Structure 1
Amino acid sequence: MVSIKDIAKKAGVSISTVSYALNGSTKVTKETSERIIAIAKELDYIPSAAARSLKKRETKIIGVYLTDYSGAFYGQLLQGMMETLTQNGYELIVCSGKESHRFLPERMVDGAIILDATYDTEELLSHAERGHKLVVMDRKIDHPNISQVLLDNKAGATLAIDHLAEKGHNKVYVVKGPEESFDARQRLEAVRKAVQRYSHIEYIELDGDFNKPSGETAAKKIHDEFSGPVGVFCLNDEMAIGMFNYFSGKKLKIGKDVHVIGFDNIETAQYIHPRLATINYSKFKWGALASELLLKLIKNQEIDHERINVSLVEGDSVGKR
């Protein structure tokens, strides 16, 4: 890779002169600057983002860390982040995996938004202690350099259980999410608390992993045990759609025998038949708010933690028992 040293050698000038020229400094004459820039283009010189960020103390880039990119959940969320950042002169890069964690200590990004269950809280606190600005969307952390914007998972899960109970269901399955997911844990905690208010409800938990295959596996279990109409709360829509996939070729029907409610209101939910009942919130707003909070942190402005409200979207996938 071509360096400033290579340009200086070919131009017959010092490295500092090349640096001044490439950064538009008036310390170099117009003629010398134009000659250096021409040589840089000839050698196909690419400036080092890391070196530039160390000098200017900013990159105008924000990193968002995700556990993975699968499923229909992330599109609107990332769009909300990107639009807010673009309006404020920043760009967004999407990161996943341990290797990308070095972007923060190496100051290749100006701050980070975390929705990554595999990113250790201790590591995030270590970054914050060094002055890095962070917004978390999947955990609670108390630190002046960290803000949080969380879903009201507990309200959403309570709405789902209440909806099934109001429809007269006295046997309810809950398809869980991955154990490392903050959202899944909060939803399950609220479910367990909510069912205690309904002494007539038989409550059964099934394993899930926030994806369609785990929804299909749970559906098979329900099918094998079926003895009458049941309610099912899938802790996200992807698993609910997996359940639809399984029962599409079976005699038991969604909305008649198996009454399903999801969580997230992904776009697909409104197009499947019968319409999936689910818990709704604005993923765009969630992403936009996370970006807004991070930009305020970077500017050392005062901030408060935020919460994203949820609501119930009724659908024919849940009927009366």
Structure 2
Amino acid sequence: MATMKQVAERAGVSISTVSHVINNTRVVSDDVRRRVLGIIDEMRYIPSAVARSLKNDKTNTIGVLVPNSSNPYFAELIRWIEDAAFQLGYNIILCNAHGGAQKQTANLRLLMEKRIDGLVLVASGADDEQDLLLRRETVPVVQLERALPGLHADLVQAGQEEGGYAATRHLIELGHRDIACVSGPADLPRTRERVGGFMRAMAEAGLTLAPDRIVHDEFTSAGGHAAFTRLLARSRRPTAVFVTSDLMALGGLCAAGAAAVRVPAQLSVVGYDDIAAARYALPPLTTVAPPKHDMAWLAIELLADRIRGGHAPLRHAALASALVVRASTAPPQ
């Protein structure tokens, strides 16, 4: 691998001149600049990002901490985060918090050691050690989807409760009265908020909600399959189900097929997240679509402003989700 010293010797200039050409920190004649850039290209010299960061006190790198990048919803969100960061001149370092608070804190320490310029926390869980670390560091932070208690940082989110409400209202307006809810673990904020919207819509419509009509499992296709299997095994089946995750809903559609329950003729199903697979399900899944693209862009724009030294008041941006009606919902028969 070529070094700056070798480039300088080959171009017949000083090492400092090569540095000025690379970093554009001093006027260099056009002839010298072209000669140095030609040698850099010929020798395939790659400037040291570490050395440049030490000099400029910037790495042009943003850390992104997500719960689980294998989840299609988070994968799609990461795609837009990376796209926005790239267009604003930043690279990202992605870390998964899947595995609990200990891994989440370890990844946070790693990102700080990498001298990131800013941090995006995506649906991050609360942890005492992590909270202490975030308060001690001066790196700018933007929270995406979920606010950590006591952390003073910009927040970008889509209304989870409102999305659950809109999904349930859609089923009620179709004429459904016996509506169940399949959701992830009850202790997760995302579950509480989305289920909260479901319960508000049911209460406003004066509909009684039996305790066995809310079924919890893991936020996975397997979890959705297991929850639907239990729900459909009961003597009295609902006519519609609001599912707080498309992944769970896809598993639920498989379980309905295995139980010879036709969707939507015998059971309407609404999901949440509008992952790419939802539109190709059989039948295509009606779902709540958070504005993933807009959320990612706004988060990166806010973070970039903080990195540049912006001192605007902390912002809490609540973006609206949209109900996407497809073929998995219909009036009850």
CA contact (8 A) 1:62 1:90 kept: no
Q: Which residue of 2 aligns with 1:69?
A: 69
Q: Which residue of 2 aligns with 1:93?
A: 92
1:245 aligns with 2:257: no
CA contact (8 A) 1:252 1:258 kept: yes
- C-alpha distance in structure 2 between counterparts of 1:228 and 1:118, whole Å: 35
CA contact (8 A) 2:290 2:321 kept: yes
Tell me which moved more, 287-296 or 107-116: 107-116
Task: Describe the superposition over 1:220-242 as per-residue Cα deviations: whole angstroms up to 9, x where unpaired.
Answer: 11221143442211101110011
Amino acid at match of 1:155: E
- 1:1-321 matches, within 5 Å, as 49-50=49-50, 52-87=52-87, 89-97=88-96, 98=103, 99-118=106-125, 120=127, 123-124=130-131, 126-141=133-148, 143-144=151-152, 146-179=153-186, 181-197=188-204, 198-202=206-210, 204-299=213-308, 300-302=310-312, 304-318=315-329, 319-321=331-333
What is the count of residue pairs matched by the alignment?
318
| Paired residue secondary structure (1:173) | strand
| Paired residue secondary structure (2:81) | helix
When normalised by structure 2's length, the TM-score is 0.76
Gapped regions of structure 1 (runs ≥ 5) = 5-15, 27-43
Amino acid at match of 1:96: C
CA contact (8 A) 1:260 1:276 kept: yes
Amino acid at match of 1:302: A
Give the C-alpha shift of residue 23 in structure 1. Answer: 7.5
- C-alpha distance in structure 1 between counterparts of 2:236 and 2:92, whole Å: 50
CA contact (8 A) 1:171 1:202 kept: no
Task: Describe the superposition over 1:36-80 as per-residue Cα deviations: whole angstroms up to 9, x where unpaired.
Answer: xxxxxxxx9987655543432110011111111123223432232
Change in 2 beyond 3 A, CA 1:159/1:184: same
Change in 2 beyond 3 A, CA 1:265/1:53: same
Give the C-alpha shift of residue 159 in structure 1. Answer: 1.0
- C-alpha distance in structure 2 between counterparts of 1:285 and 1:302, whole Å: 20
Change in 2 beyond 3 A, CA 1:208/1:125: same
| Paired residue secondary structure (1:174) | strand
Task: Describe the superposition over 1:103-130 as per-residue Cα deviations: whole angstroms up to 9, x where unpaired.
Answer: 4432521111111534637624642443
Q: Which residue of 2 aligns with 1:31?
A: none
Amino acid at match of 2:76: Q
Amino acid at match of 2:229: K
- C-alpha distance in structure 1 between counterparts of 2:83 and 2:57, whole Å: 23
Task: Describe the superposition over 1:257-303 as per-residue Cα deviations: whole angstroms up to 9, x where unpaired.
Answer: 22211111122222223221111232111111111111111122425
Change in 2 beyond 3 A, CA 1:200/1:100: closer
- C-alpha distance in structure 2 between counterparts of 1:268 and 1:22, whole Å: 45
Change in 2 beyond 3 A, CA 1:121/1:152: farther
Change in 2 beyond 3 A, CA 1:96/1:105: closer
Task: Describe the superposition over 1:116-169 as per-residue Cα deviations: whole angstroms up to 9, x where unpaired.
Answer: 53463762464244311111113224555x110011001111112222222332
Structure 1 vs Structure 2 CA RMSD:
4.0
Give the C-alpha shift of residue 320 in structure 1. Answer: 2.6
| Paired residue secondary structure (1:291) | helix
- C-alpha distance in structure 1 between counterparts of 2:327 and 2:171, whole Å: 12
Change in 2 beyond 3 A, CA 1:94/1:178: farther
